[in-house]
């Protein structure tokens, strides 16, 4: 084996090791679900009309709360579409719930961008945005994990919690729906959150 | 018979062109008789909401040849920015990761880019991806010659026929359903 080959081989192994290290740093972490009782709290955001929305505005109706961003290639539109189908399935019960989509992309998503984006989904889904501090506050409160993943040319995408949060009429978190939630199961869970007639 | 002949012919053409395909030299040279032969099936993408910055394209790549190959990139007329990405559900957290090294397609195997995992990431979309307006793409490989394909556009949240049922459902999906307080 020539010296050049040995050098190439060592560089190759080093690159492989670094790649593995990065891979495990990205994928190796297991996200443990924090207890529901620790989730929730104060927040202040704006809707697509520019009106301020806080936790107090949710009280009185159970809430479905989903975090995402409009640069999201798949998980966010799929979840918003699933929510739209859920709202249709709920029929005349649908108006008894709040539906919120909070953008974690405080740099690129504002009220106008969110308004365009959510226009294809059910109009009862409200799009909320905020500045960096406001988004970090609600992410901390709901134990939402999010981090920017750099891409080429200084661009970024966002890894984030893709569960949909269920809040009761007092605004306390009572459950989360995993990505791709089943409509019938969810409808049954939601009906339990309504006042018993 | 004619079909079979043309299939054989195109396979041969693919194999021979693959032998001459240029590559960046970081991998070993293909030796005589070694050639990948990539077949593209079911290219698709979901329509995007207005203002969406990105969309994920899906495809199945089968390597009928006897040499490994790597999908190293893709180009399209709708944007200058296409990257190869993967995503993974880590509990409830969706993690995205670019794959600058490409996606390997081992000899004799199929690799499926599908929701919840590997995807072609279309970025800086100037206008939404619209149902009924297929997206032309050119897939670039390390060895095999580039392949042109058209991504069929299905509605937001939908999947093409034979790709599993409703929105959000896919094979790699974790079967846990969140957690409820009692």
Whole-number average pLDDT of chain A:
90
Residue A9: closest CA among chain B residues belongs to which residue?
Answer: B26
Contacts of B169 in chain A (CB under 8 A): 180
- Reported as a pLDDT band with limits 50, 70 and 90, residue B173 is very low
Residue A152 lies inside a defined structural domain of this protein? yes
Give tens-digit pLDDT for B121-133: 999 999 999 999 9
Asked whether residue A147 falls in the same domain as residue A50, the answer is: yes
Asked whether residue A21 falls in the same domain as residue A53, the answer is: no
Q: Do B48 and A77 touch (CB under 8 A)?
A: yes
Residue B60 to chain A, least CA–CA distance (Å): 17
Asked whether residue A43 falls in the same domain as residue A98, the answer is: yes
More confident of the two residues B66 and B22: B66
Asked whether residue A26 falls in the same domain as residue A115, the answer is: no
Asked whether residue A22 falls in the same domain as residue A111, the answer is: no
pLDDT of residue B38: 96
Reply yes or no on whether the pLDDT at B182 is more than 60. no
Give tens-digit pLDDT for B56-106: 999 999 999 999 999 999 999 999 999 999 999 999 999 999 999 999 999
Question: Which of A131, A142, A136, A126 minimizes the C-alpha distance to A176?
Answer: A142
* CA separation, residue A80 to residues A66, B66, B86 (Å): 8, 43, 21
CB pairs under 8 A between A and B: 160
Asked whether residue A7 falls in the same domain as residue A51, the answer is: no
Does residue B99 belong to the interface with chain A, where contact is any CB pair within 8 Å? no
Residue position matching structure tokens 């697509």: A48
Residue A107 lies inside a defined structural domain of this protein? yes
- Rounded CA separation A168/A131 (Å): 26
Residue A128 lies inside a defined structural domain of this protein? yes
> pTM value?
0.77
* CA separation, residue A109 to residues A102, A133, B2, B132 (Å): 10, 14, 55, 28
Asked whether residue A186 falls in the same domain as residue A156, the answer is: yes
Min mean pLDDT across A18-22, A48-52, A180-184, A191-195 is at: A18-22
Give tens-digit pLDDT for B99-150: 999 999 999 999 999 999 999 999 999 999 999 999 999 999 999 999 999 9
Contacts of A184 in chain B (CB under 8 A): none
Asked whether residue A90 falls in the same domain as residue A49, the answer is: yes
Range of the domain at A81: 39-191
Question: In total, how many domains does chain A have?
Answer: 2
Q: Do A157 and B96 touch (CB under 8 A)?
A: yes
Could you state, in order of their start, the residue ranges of all structural domains in chain B? 2-22+35-154
The pair of structure tokens assigned to B141 is 């490989």
Give tens-digit pLDDT for A97-147: 999 999 999 999 999 999 999 999 999 999 999 999 999 999 999 999 999
Among the partner residues B53, B54, B92, nearest to A162 by beta-carbon distance: B92
ipTM: 0.77
Asked whether residue A52 falls in the same domain as residue A82, the answer is: yes
Min mean pLDDT across A11-25, A59-73, B37-51, B138-152 is at: A11-25
- Reported as a pLDDT band with limits 50, 70 and 90, residue A11 is confident
Q: Do B177 and A178 touch (CB under 8 A)?
A: yes
So what's the architecture of B2-22+35-154 in CATH? Sandwich (2.60)
Q: Within the 25-54 window of chain A, which residues sit less than 8 Å (CB to CB) from chain B?
A: 26-27, 29-33, 36-37
């Amino acid at each position: 084996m020539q010296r050049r080959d040995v050098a190439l081989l060592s560089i190759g192994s080093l690159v492989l090791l670094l790649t593995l290290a990065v891979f495990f740093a990205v994928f190796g972490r297991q996200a443990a679900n924090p207890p529901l009782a620790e989730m929730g709290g104060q927040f202040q955001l704006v809707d697509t009309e520019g009106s301020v929305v806080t936790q107090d505005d949710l009280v009185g109706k159970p809430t479905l709360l989903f975090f995402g961003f409009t640069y999201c290639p798949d998980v966010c539109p799929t979840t918003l579409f699933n929510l739209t189908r859920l709202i249709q399935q709920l029929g005349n019960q649908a108006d008894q719930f709040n539906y919120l989509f909070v953008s974690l992309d405080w740099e690129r998503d504002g009220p106008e961008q969110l308004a365009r984006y959510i226009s294809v989904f059910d109009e009862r889904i409200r799009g909320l945005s905020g500045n960096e501090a406001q988004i970090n506050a609600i992410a901390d409160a709901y134990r939402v994990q999010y981090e920017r993943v750099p891409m080429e040319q200084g661009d970024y995408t966002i890894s984030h919690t893709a569960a949909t949060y269920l809040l009761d009429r007092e605004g306390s978190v009572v459950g989360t729906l995993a990505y791709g939630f089943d409509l019938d199961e969810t409808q049954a869970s939601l009906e339990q959150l309504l006042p018993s007639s | 018979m004619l079909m079979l002949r043309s299939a054989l012919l195109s396979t041969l053409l693919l194999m021979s062109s693959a032998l001459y395909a240029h590559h960046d030299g970081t991998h070993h040279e293909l030796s005589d008789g070694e050639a990948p032969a990539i077949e593209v099936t079911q290219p698709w993408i979901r329509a995007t909401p207005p203002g969406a910055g990105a969309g994920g394209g899906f495809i199945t790549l089968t390597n009928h040849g006897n040499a490994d190959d790597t999908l190293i990139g893709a180009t399209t007329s709708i944007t200058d920015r296409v990257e190869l990405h993967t995503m993974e559900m880590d509990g409830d957290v969706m993690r995205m990761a670019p794959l600058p090294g490409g996606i390997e397609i081992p000899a004799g195997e199929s690799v499926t880019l599908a929701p919840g995992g590997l995807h072609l990431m279309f970025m800086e979309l100037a206008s939404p991806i619209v149902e009924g307006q297929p997206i032309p793409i050119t897939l670039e490989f390390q060895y095999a010659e580039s392949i042109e394909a058209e991504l069929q556009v299905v509605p937001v949240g939908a999947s093409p026929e034979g790709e599993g049922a409703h929105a959000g459902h896919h094979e790699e999906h974790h079967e846990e359903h969140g957690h409820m307080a009692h």
